Amino acid sequence: MISVVAGILGGILFVFPMLGIVVFTVTSVVLSAFVLGLSMILPAAALQDPIPLAQARQIAWANLGAILVLSLLITLLNSVPQILAGTPLGPVANSVSYQLPSQWLITMLSISVATTLYGYFIQDRNLVV
């Protein structure tokens, strides 16, 4: 059954490649929002103040708009190397000397966002601008 759906979807996306980009982007944002919403569990565990999965899911669902915007921004940031690969800077964007620091930066940013979400939603801390 899954292979039939995948085959039909593959055929549609072959005919309409822009639809594939939209579907991939929307799917990436939704999955990123799901993971980002549940990522508040990790800082809680690191501080030895664990929160249940149901509480993290409830908080994420209550603040879905903000989490979706954050996941959209992180998805766009993750797309920069792929966008640069189609430009004259492609060889530079595909090099290890670019990929390693950029992926490290994205990882650190994601950890920072997870701890900020934990501080804001769980510990009721204010965001300092």
How many folded domains does the chain comprise? 1
Give the domain extent around 37: 2-122
Q: Taking the model in full, what pTM does it have?
A: 0.71
* Orientation of helix 17-38 relative to helix 96-117, angle to 10°: 50
Measured distance between the N- and C-terminal CA atoms of the chain, rounded to whole angstroms: 51
pLDDT of residue 1: 66
pLDDT of residue 93: 65
> Within a domain: residue 129?
no
pLDDT of residue 6: 72
Give Cα 40 distance to the centre of its chain. Answer: 14
pLDDT of residue 127: 81
> Within a domain: residue 128?
no
> Within a domain: residue 84?
yes
pLDDT in tens, the chain (129 residues): 677 777 777 777 777 777 777 777 788 888 888 888 888 888 888 888 888 888 888 888 888 888 888 888 888 887 777 777 667 766 766 677 777 887 888 888 888 888 888 888 888 888 876
> Within a domain: residue 96?
yes
| Residue 48 exposure: Cα atoms within 13 Å on the Cβ side | 0
